[in-house]
Structure 1
Amino acid sequence: MFKRLQGQTVFITGASAGIGEACARSFAAAGSNVIITARRTDRIEALKAELEQAHPNVRVHAVTLDVTSKEQVDQVVASLPDDLQQVDVLINNAGLVLGLIPLVDYKPDQIDTIINTNLKGLIYCTQAFIPRMKQQTAGGTIINVSSISGHDVYPNGSIYCATKFAVDAITRTLRYELANSNVRISALSPGFVETEFSMVRFDGDKKKADKVYQGMTPLIGEDIAETALFIASRPPHVEVAEAIVVPKGQASINYIYRKEES
């Protein structure tokens, strides 16, 4: 199914954990060259070594990147190795949330961190690659990892939801702007996925993070990575506008069936 991805080059943000890390493993296994980026250099270097050992015929390039800096994004993209200059797939995955806080209680630095990472980072990376992909004969595919929080809201999630609603708006707008090109744009919107997301949200409080997934079987990063593989591997005339992926029992952002513990 994924033969079209062999030899393609995939640029992944937020590849040091969770969905981004799973995407790196999945695309490398499908025969794609992967450019893995994140702020945590030690993690992506370890992932690079792992992938090179597991897939010796795949090119793996790890580079430290803070997507909130447009200067860094532009510099990293401009200085890609010669054999990785043509990026076929961009996965805008970097994202986070801080706290479960009423809007009136959010501090300016918390607001800036969420907006800069989830929204500005995605914008900067997309701006860097669209001109390149337009010039490529085969075009390219951009996958914006969004969330069901971009479709509905929940109490104390105002800033995070706002960024994901904005990602949805940007993705849909780009579908107009890229309609006359060979560049495809997709939104991949997961429900509950057990990654470091909740640990970051609750500032490392494992008890609070574990409670999020209590009584249910959440998605894992590999579930979303497999969906990203499907999106990127479609024939050129097929554009997956959006994929919403939820764990069984999650009917909406606010309704999750949880089994009672015996």
Structure 2
Amino acid sequence: MSSSAASSTSPSSPAGVIDVLVVDDDAAILSSLSRALRLEGYDPRLAAGGLAALEAVKQQPPALVILDVGMPDVDGVAVTRRLRADGFDMPICILSARDEITDRVAGLEAGADDYVVKPFALEELLARMSALLRRAGHTADSASEVLQVADLRLDPARREVSRDGVEIELTRREFELLHTLMTHADRVLSRAQLLELVWGYDFAADGNVVDVFVGYLRRKTEEGGRPRLIHTKRGVGFMLAER
């Protein structure tokens, strides 16, 4: 397999089959993951580098991207950052041999939804993929109850957020964070709890991922001088409440 181009792709996935883009410059890993995912009922497409991945997503956005970090043309973190900058909102799962907390945080801050360290068990990757797809709405068990705190309204089924009737545009990760805070309104959630509930991690990150995204939400929900609803409990975490 060429290291500079994506493999040929079908124009669309069969009905009910989830389209997954697998990106790695190692042909053996691509082949192995492709076989395993097909056996699990997925429809994998393959890209053998960062540039090929960007082109493949533009041609046909997949439901999920599995993305290696260490690629010679454009690394996985840069690919993630560019996809998010271009408005692509599908879940991205990074694969990496780097196990440092700083590496994980860098991937998450770039916009990745999960970070799996090599070598990994296939069962673990499949479980993480299932969780990402479920959170992205590819299963029917997601909560659909409309939430409201003060004049802030969130509709999970429509993926819409508004304040005092004015629509607020959020990225998928911002939406998930706000949904979590509103679901637990009037309760303080620690950074570790938010990291696990929203990002799916249970390690103690030493970065400021949660703080950064809380900042994004505050700017958007407080635009026009609206009162603050997301409050900081110093040394503990964050709480969404009307005051």
Give the TM-score band, short-chain normalised.
Answer: 0.3 to 0.5
Larger Rg: 2
TM-score, normalised by the number of residues in structure 2? 0.41
| Structure with more contact order per residue of length (Cα contacts < 8 Å, sep ≥ 6) | 1
Structure richer in helix, relative to its length = 1
